[in-house]
Amino acid sequence: MPKTDDIIQVLIVDDEQNIRDGSERILSRVGFEVLKASTGAEALDILAQQIIPIVLLDLKMPGMDGMEVLSRIQDFDEPILVIVITGFATVETAIKAMKQGAYDFIPKPFEPEQLRIVVNRAAEKLRLTRDAHQLELERNRTLSDLHTEKSRLHTILESLPNGVGVVNSQGQVVLMNPAFLHYLDLEPNTAAGNQIEDYINDRELCNLIREISQGRHVDYEDIPAYELTISEKKFLQVRGRPVLGERNQCLGAVVNIVDITNIKIIDRMKSEFVAKVSHELRSPLSTIHEQLVHVLGEMVEESSKVDPHILMRAKEKTHGLISLIGDLLDLSRIEAGMIAQEPVAVKIDELLKGIVDFLATKAAGKNQSLILDLPEYELPPLTADPLALESIYGNLITNALHYTQPGGEIRVKVELLGISIRVSIIDNGFGIEARHLDKIFERFYRVKDENTRLITGTGLGLPIVKGLVDSLGGFIDVESTPGSGSVFMVTLPLKDTDEMI
């Protein structure tokens, strides 16, 4: 179908030449493209070759008369608007023609203006019909797009390995995919529609999902991932996110379930392995170490010919191994939640002063300045295990000394943030490239580059720090610029009675 703003064609069918030519002049002046036929047969020939949407048809013609032409035109597939031209004497015929499907009529003789009005009216009708048709096409296309989009989403959802469920703001489950049912040990044909508690047998999780679906967790990052234990052999991680409408109103929650059984089993195996290996190695190594210390002492006294440096290196090695194993043991104890001490009120400024004083000689050896930057105001006490705190800050300050060049500066800054205390260990040392930042808290991870090549370590300091900070209910952040330095920030709540280590 031609576009609505195309030039409209009009076919004039009349046996009188002056009517044909006159009409042509009038209509072409107002923008129509005019074709002419002097007989009905000629008109039908033209129409068989090309569809002309408006036909001006004289009813009274020799040969095939107008009525006959009209009825043939009705047989065409495309609709054609026929305006019949009638003499005064044939008004009745005009009415008959209209009944047979003619669109309009114009009596002969007619004024140019009359012709223009009638033909323009037909052209307007044509445009409206075309516009409506176009709209209909577009609507159908949108509907079919929507339909394919919907079925595509449905297929994706059905085949997702993650469990996905949607809960409305009343806590009613409105959608579940097969993985969702599978993970929760539900029958594959379980229907949606009931309250969330009918599908998930864990009140705390259901409450969390309800809260999310009611828009009570606006900050997505704050929504905790929930670990759901279905059995000793099935562990799931469940995350909920609010579903927001166009005006940001909360419509419900989408619940995503991931199977973390394998990760859990591997983690447990790793911890068990580490604990076992450490225990097996620790005592023989300690014995070797003691023996070496002893032999070394004797050799020096008797001025033996054996180069004591060899034994000294052996001693250093075993010492390194012992501290590695000590770290491993600490770590596995922290991870197993086995360090349970009574928390006491700790004066953080005094504790830090002790650590800084202890490490001052080390700093002086590298010509580094180690500064404790305490606030003017008095700090409230922190209720925690002092050994854990010493381990956290001791590890971080030692790292700062290690990973800062001689002559550098290490500043330990303490701030009170509401009901938390933040200690920042700021150095102007080597810094850490962004790609390592989230890995340095993994066990055994060490950055290996020109700066760190000769620095010995276990790669277990930061995992220990993180484990301890977690168990004290705090968090640790790091910001670093390679070449400029790093800041490790530990924020701990003043009181943490629940998860004390």
Torsion angle of C-alpha atoms 491, 494, 498, 501, degrees rounded to 10: 70
Kindly write out the interface string for residues 439-478 of this chain, putting x where it contacts ligand ADP by CB under 6 A and - elsewhere: -x----xxx----x----xxxxxx----------------
| Least gap, CB of 330 to ligand ADP (angstroms) | 12
Instruction: Select from 430, 424, 423, 425 the least CA-distant residue to 408.
Output: 430
Closest to ligand ADP by CB, 199 vs 403, is: 403
Torsion angle of C-alpha atoms 360, 366, 368, 374, degrees rounded to 10: -20
User: Could you tell me which stretch among 50-58, 217-225, 340-348, 423-431 binds ligand ADP (CB under 6 A)?
Assistant: 423-431
From 93, 424, 428, 486, residue interacting with ligand ADP (rule: CB under 6 A): 486
Residue type, 129: T
User: Could you tell me which stretch among 170-178, 214-222, 346-354, 438-446 binds ligand ADP (CB under 6 A)?
Assistant: 438-446
From 430, 469, 490, 496, residue interacting with ligand ADP (rule: CB under 6 A): 430
Closest to ligand ADP by CB, 53 vs 461, is: 461
Measure the CA–CA gap between 447 and 433, rounded to whole angstroms: 9
Residue type, 138: E
Q: Please count the residues of this chain forming the interface with ligand ADP, following the rule CB under 6 A.
A: 19
The phi, psi pair for 394, rounded to 5°, reads -60, -45
From 432, 472, 476, 492, residue interacting with ligand ADP (rule: CB under 6 A): 432
Closest to ligand ADP by CB, 17 vs 369, is: 369
Residues from 376 through 405 that contact ligand ADP (CB under 6 A):
399-400, 403
Closest to ligand ADP by CB, 167 vs 465, is: 465
Residue type, 414: V
Q: What CA–CA distances, in Å, run from 135 to 131, 145, 175, 267, 422? A: 6, 15, 34, 61, 64
Closest to ligand ADP by CB, 38 vs 395, is: 395
Residue 493 binds to ligand ADP (criterion: CB under 6 A): no
Residue 331 binds to ligand ADP (criterion: CB under 6 A): no
By residue count, the chain amounts to 501
Q: Measured at the alpha carbon of residue 319, what is the angle toward residues 317 and 325, in degrees to the nearest 5? A: 105
* Backbone torsion region of residue 345, taken as left when φ is above 0, otherwise alpha when ψ lies between -120 and 50, otherwise beta: beta
Chain centre to alpha carbon of residue 418: 32
| Least gap, CB of 486 to ligand ADP (angstroms) | 4
Residue 427 binds to ligand ADP (criterion: CB under 6 A): yes
List contacts with ligand ADP (CB under 6 A): 399-400, 403, 427, 429-430, 432, 440, 445-447, 452, 457-462, 486
